[in-house]
Chain A
Amino acid sequence: KAGVTQTPRYLIKTRGQQVTLSCSPISGHRSVSWYQQTPGQGLQFLFEYFSETQRNKGNFPGRFSGRQFSNSRSEMNVSTLELGDSALYLCASSDTTRDSYRQGFFGPGTRLTVL
């Protein structure tokens, strides 16, 4: 099976712009979760989508949003970018058909730089 793919891999934006990141999970996986990784805050949970519904949400402002499509692909959007949004954004794909298979397979990440 192909792994988790994330596009684009690198992105440079300026303050005030918006950005959309994409994540394609492993085939058959219906759960996609997103994480922000920064040197100062570490790995922080943004949100999780399962069957096109947001199931959990982390403590991030409303500028961060996401969605999931019927094929399980997910996008996250950040509006009105701030310098502090510069980070590595990782998405994780999980098979939730059985709880014993709970495990996150991570993509390579999108490195966002806000100038």
Chain B
Amino acid sequence: AQKVTQAQTEISVVEKEDVTLDCVYETRDTTYYLFWYKQPPSGELVFLIRRNSFDEQNEISGRYSWNFQKSTSSFNFTITASQVVDSAVYFCALSGSNTGNQFYFGTGTSLTVIP
């Protein structure tokens, strides 16, 4: 069974603070893919990152960074020096090797950045 847990339902931070969004996943597949998506109020899901299960290298993209740890089945997302434009709902998702392009989404974390 595939499952993604985002325990943080809502987070509020003051602008310029760092914030980490947690994601824990469950899968029996040896090959799988993890994703983060951003959903602004407009509703469209915006792709942020994909990580393959065989690549545990962490990644940094500007103010965004991702920490993938297979040992703890976690794929956490950190925003450094948050900005008001970062306010959105963030979803972590999992796709197995044998389930085509079916994504299993977490329940999302609503991030509010206060100016």
Spell out A's residues near B (CB within 8 Å): 31, 33, 35, 42-43, 45, 48, 50, 55-56, 58, 88, 90, 92, 94, 96, 100, 102-109, 111
Name the 8 nearest CB pairs between A and B, nearest first: A106-B45, A43-B105, A94-B101, A108-B44, A55-B100, A56-B102, A31-B101, A109-B43
Interchain nearest-CB distance for B21 vs A (Å): 16
Spell out B's residues near A (CB within 8 Å): 33, 35, 37, 42-47, 50, 52, 91, 95, 99-108
Partner of A48, one of B52, B91, B102: B102
A90-B104 in contact given A43-B91, A56-B99, A102-B50 (Cβ < 8 Å)? no
CA distance A88 to B42 in the complex (A): 11
Please give, as numbers and ranges, the residues of chain B lying within 8 Å of A43 by CB-CB distance: 91, 103, 105, 108
CA distance A86 to B93 in the complex (A): 23
A88-B101 in contact given A100-B52, A102-B50, A102-B95 (Cβ < 8 Å)? no
Mostly helix, strand, loop or mixed at chain A's interface?
strand
CA distance A60 to B44 in the complex (A): 22
Could you tell me if A92 and B43 are in contact, using CB atoms closer than 8 angstroms? no
CA distance A100 to B53 in the complex (A): 11
Could you tell me if B44 and A48 are in contact, using CB atoms closer than 8 angstroms? no
Could you tell me if B42 and A42 are in contact, using CB atoms closer than 8 angstroms? no
Counting chain A CB atoms within 10 Å of each CB, which of B37, B52, B101, B106 scores highest? B101
Please give, as numbers and ranges, the residues of chain B lying within 8 Å of A92 by CB-CB distance: 45, 101, 103
Please give, as numbers and ranges, the residues of chain B lying within 8 Å of A50 by CB-CB distance: 100-101
Closest residue on chain B to residue A109 by CB atoms: B43
Closest residue on chain B to residue A3 by CB atoms: B44
CA distance A90 to B89 in the complex (A): 15
Could you tell me if A33 and B45 are in contact, using CB atoms closer than 8 angstroms? no
CA distance A105 to B45 in the complex (A): 8
A109-B104 in contact given A43-B91, A102-B50 (Cβ < 8 Å)? no
A103-B47 in contact given A48-B100, A55-B100 (Cβ < 8 Å)? yes
Closest residue on chain A to residue B33 by CB atoms: A102
Please give, as numbers and ranges, the residues of chain B lying within 8 Å of A58 by CB-CB distance: 102
Could you tell me if B44 and A106 are in contact, using CB atoms closer than 8 angstroms? yes
CA distance A58 to B106 in the complex (A): 16
